[in-house]
Chain A
Amino acid sequence: MSGVLKLALKLLLGDRGKFVTLVIGITFAVFLMMLMTSMFFGIIEHSAANIINVGAKMWVMDPDVQTPQNSIPMPDYVLDVVRSIPGVDYAVPLYVGAGLVRLDDGTYQAATVIGLDDATLFGRPELLAGKALDIYRNNAFFVVRDANYAKLRSPKIGTTFEINDHRGIIAGIAHVSIGSLFGLPTLYTTYSRATQDLPSTRYVMSFILLQPKSPAAIPGIKRAVAKLGYLALTDSEFTTRNNRFYEFQTAMGTNILIMTLISFIVGLSIAGETFYMFVLDNLERFGALKAIGARRSELVAMIFYQSLVVSFLGFGFGVLLASALVAFGKLRIPNYAAIITYQNLFMALVMVLVISGVSAYIGIRRILRIDPFVVFRS
Chain B
Amino acid sequence: MILSVDGVSKWFGEGAARTNALREVTFRVDHNEMLYIVGPSGSGKTTLLSVISGILRPNAGTVLVEGKDIWRLSDDALADFRLHTLGFVFQDYHLFPRLTTLENIAVPLILRHVPWNDGLEKARRVLQVVGLEQKGQLPPQRLSGGEQQRVAIARAIVAEPDLLVLDEPTASLDGDTGKRIVAFVRNEILNERRAIIVVTHDDRIYEYASRIIHMEDGRIVDLPGPAA
Binding site for B on A (CB under 8 A): 2-4, 6-7, 10-11, 13-15, 284-285, 287-298, 371-373, 376
A255 and B80 alpha carbons, distance in the complex (Å) = 54
Nearest B residue (CB) for A1: B116
**A295-B79, A295-B80 given; 6 more Cβ-contact pairs under 8 Å:** A7-B110, A14-B99, A288-B90, A291-B82, A292-B88, A292-B155
Contact A293 B55 (CB under 8 A): no
Interface residues on B, range: 20 to 34
Q: How far is the CB of A305 from chain B (nearest CB, A)?
A: 14
CB distance from A48 to the nearest CB of B (A): 53
Complex CA–CA separation, A335 to B92 (angstroms): 65
- Of the candidates A4, A7, A287, A296, the one whose C-beta lies within 8 Å of that of B76 is A296
Selected from B80, B91, B96, B119, the residue in CB contact (under 8 A) with A288 is B96
Partner of B88, one of A10, A291, A298, A371: A291
Complexed CA–CA distance, A372 and B75 (Å): 14
Instruction: Say if the beta carbon of B94 comes within 8 Å of chain A.
Output: yes
Tell me, yes or no, whether B20 is within 8 Å of chain A by CB: no
- Point out the residues of chain B lying under 8 angstroms from A297, CB to CB: 76
Q: Which of A14, A287, A293 contacts B98 (CB 8 A)?
A: A14
> Residues of B contacting A298 with CB < 8 Å?
111
Confirm or deny: B186 has a beta carbon within 8 angstroms of a beta carbon on chain A: no
- Which A residues are CB-close (under 8 A) to B94? 284-285, 287-288, 291, 376
Cross-chain contact B114 with A14 (CB below 8 angstroms):
no
Could you mark each residue 111-131 of chain B with 1 if its beta carbon is under 8 Å from any beta carbon of chain A, else 0? 101111001000000000000
A14 and B97 contact, Cβ closer than 8 Å, known pairs A293-B84, A372-B55: yes
B44 interfacial contact with A, CB 8 Å:
no
- For window 87-105 of chain B, which residues contact chain A by CB distance below 8 Å? 88, 90-92, 94-99, 103
- Nearest Cβ on chain A to B10's Cβ, whole angstroms: 10
B153 located at the interface, meaning its Cβ lies under 8 Å from any Cβ of chain A in the complex? no
With the chains together, A205 CA to B55 CA distance in Å?
A: 83
- Please list the residues of chain B having a beta carbon within 8 angstroms of any beta carbon in chain A: 50, 53, 55-56, 75-76, 79-84, 86, 88, 90-92, 94-99, 103, 107-108, 110-111, 113-116, 119, 155
A4 touches B79 (CB 8 A): no
Q: For the complex, what is the distance from the CA of A298 to the CA of B79, rounded to whole Å?
A: 11
How far does the alpha carbon of A24 sit from the alpha carbon of B115 in the complex, in Å? Answer: 33
Q: Is the CB of A293 within 8 A of B99?
A: no
Selected from B55, B79, B86, B92, the residue in CB contact (under 8 A) with A294 is B79
Give every chain A residue within 8 A of B95 (Cβ-Cβ).
288
A296-B75 in contact given A3-B110, A288-B96 (Cβ < 8 Å): yes
| C-alpha gap A297/B75 in the complex (Å) | 10
* B111 and A293 form a contact (CB under 8 A): yes
User: Which residues in B have their C-beta under 8 angstroms from that of A294?
Assistant: 79, 83, 111
A376 to chain B, nearest CB (A): 6
**By the criterion CB–CB under 8 Å, are A10 and B98 in contact?**
yes
Contact A293:B79 (CB < 8 A) given known A10-B98, A288-B96: yes
CB distance from B123 to the nearest CB of A (A): 12
Given contacts A292-B107, A293-B80, A293-B84, contact A3 B113 (CB under 8 A): yes
Pairwise interchain contact A10-B99, C-beta atoms closer than 8 A: yes
Q: Which residues of A contact B55 (CB under 8 A)?
A: 291, 372-373
Residue of B nearest to A296 (CB): B75
Could you tell me if B88 and A3 are in contact, using CB atoms closer than 8 angstroms? Answer: no
Of chain B, the residue at the smallest CB distance from A368 is B75
Nearest to B108 among chain A residues (CB) is A292
CB–CB B56/A373 < 8 A: yes
Residues of chain A within 8 A of B75, CB atoms compared:
295-296
Residues from chain B with a CB closer than 8 A to the CB of A376 are 90-92, 94
Nearest 8 A-B pairs (CB), nearest first?
A14-B98, A293-B83, A3-B110, A293-B82, A373-B56, A288-B94, A295-B79, A373-B50
| Most chain B CB atoms below 10 A, which of A2, A287, A290, A373 | A373
Contact B99 A2 (CB under 8 A): no
Q: Nearest B residue to A295 by beta-carbon distance?
A: B79
Is B111's CB under 8 angstroms from A4's CB?
Answer: yes
Contacts of B82 in A (CB 8 A): 291-293
Q: Which residue of A lies closest to B92 (CB)?
A: A376
5 CB < 8 A contacts A-B: A11-B96, A14-B97, A287-B94, A288-B94, A373-B50
Closest to B161 in A: A293
Whether A6 and B92, one on each chain, are in contact in the complex, defined by CB atoms closer than 8 angstroms, is no
Taking a contact as CB atoms closer than 8 A, the residue among A3, A14, A289 that contacts B116 in the complex is A3
Q: Which residue from chain A places its CB closest to the CB of B91 in the assembled complex? A: A376
Instruction: Please tell me which one of the listed residues A3, A291, A373 contacts residue B114 in the complex, with CB atoms under 8 A apart.
Output: A3
Q: Cβ of A7 and Cβ of B97 under 8 Å apart?
A: no
Q: Which residues of A contact B114 (CB under 8 A)?
A: 3
**Residues of A with C-beta under 8 A to B91:** 376
Task: With a 10 A CB-CB cut-off, give which of A4, A7, A10, A285 has the most chain B CB atoms.
Answer: A7
The residue on B at minimum CB distance from A375 is B94
Q: Give the shortest distance, in Å, between B3 (CB) and chain A (any CB).
A: 18
Q: Please state if A285 and B88 are interface contacts (CB–CB under 8 Å).
A: no
In the complex, what distance in Å separates the CA atom of A289 from the CA atom of B112?
Answer: 12
Q: Which residue of A lies closest to B53 (CB)?
A: A291
